Structures are given as structure tokens and as C-alpha cells.
Amino acid sequence: MKSIIIYESTHHGNTKKIVDAITQKHNAEAVSIENAESVELSGYDMVGLAAGIAFGKFYKRMEEFAAKIPSGKQAFLLYTCGNPSGGYVKSITKTLESNGVKVMGSYGCRGYDTYGPFKLVGGIAKGHPTEEEIDGAVAFYNKISGRE
């Protein structure tokens, strides 16, 4: 199964850490959201979307890109966030499924966060993602890609 992960990791590289762990252990490609428009998605069986969370959902550019994934594709979601309270994949999942994309699952973990008021206190979730959380992302990918 040929996979690509489109990622957006803007603040502390939290999301990029989990993407890099997956691509280092598997033959999956990774492309930043800035270069995603030039990728021909028809050449991939599965498309991963990986981003941080802002205001309760994936970053805006990733939400917009999700609408461009062709019908019939399989997708998976990866995210990092300062405070995991859940529900972060609802909006992007709805977009994908309404376009005929099958969502294979999602994996999220904490990530160091200094956005907004968190900067005043030195941030939250320092030291995240941990090695265990990164390994969890790889295990998630193993499961959805049939490599388990």
C-alpha cells in the first residue's frame, strides 16, 4: 500500500516528530502542506493528514486540503495538541467522508504548546510528544496499513 502524509507542523515541530517516526520505519512519503498542491494524489492508496490543533480542530489549511482529496481514497488522521479534550477530528472527518473518502482512523497525542496565554506560563505539555507517544503513532500506522 503506497501512502503519503501531508503535514503541517508550525510551532514546535510536535506533529513532524510523529510523521518522521512513521516515514523512517515505513515506505511512506511526507510532504508539507506548503507543497501539497503539487502532489498527484492519484498515485497513492492512502493519504494521511497530520497537523496541530487550533480552536478545537485541525489547522485551517489542512481542513481546506482535506476537501481536495479524491473520492475513493483511504485517509488517516494524525494530530498533536496541548490539551487533549477530544472531538478534534469531527470536522475534518465530516469533510472527508462527505467527499467519498474512507477514514481509516485517527491518532492524537499531546504536544508542547505555547500558543496564546500558554506562552505567559512557559507553555503546557512540555516534553511531549514523548517516545511512548511517538511509538504509539507508529503502532497506529502499522495497524491501519496492515503491517501489524
Q: What is the pLDDT of residue 119?
A: 56
Q: How far apart are CA 1 and CA 7, in angstroms?
A: 19
Handedness of CA 132, 134, 140, 143 (dihedral sign): negative
pLDDT of residue 45: 93
pLDDT in single tens digits along all 148 residues of the chain: 799 999 998 776 788 999 999 999 988 999 999 999 999 999 999 999 999 888 888 999 999 999 999 999 999 999 997 677 778 999 999 999 999 999 999 999 877 565 655 555 555 557 678 899 899 999 999 999 876 5
The pLDDT, as a whole number, for residue 127 is 67
Quick check: 47 and 29 in contact, CB under 8 A?
A: no
Give the count of beta carbons closer than 10 Å to the beta carbon of residue 100.
Answer: 11
Quote the pLDDT of residue 118.
57
Task: Report pTM.
Answer: 0.91
The answer to whether 78 and 138 are in contact (CB under 8 A) is no
Distance, in Å, from the CA atom of 68 to the CA atom of 99, rounded to the nearest integer, reads 8
Q: Is the peptide bond before 84 cis (omega within 30 degrees of 0)?
A: no
> Out of 3.40.50.360, 3.40.630.30, 3.40.50.150, 1.10.10.10, which CATH number does the structure's domain 3-144 have?
3.40.50.360
How far apart CA 71 and CA 109 sit, in angstroms, is: 28
Domain ranges of the chain: 3-144
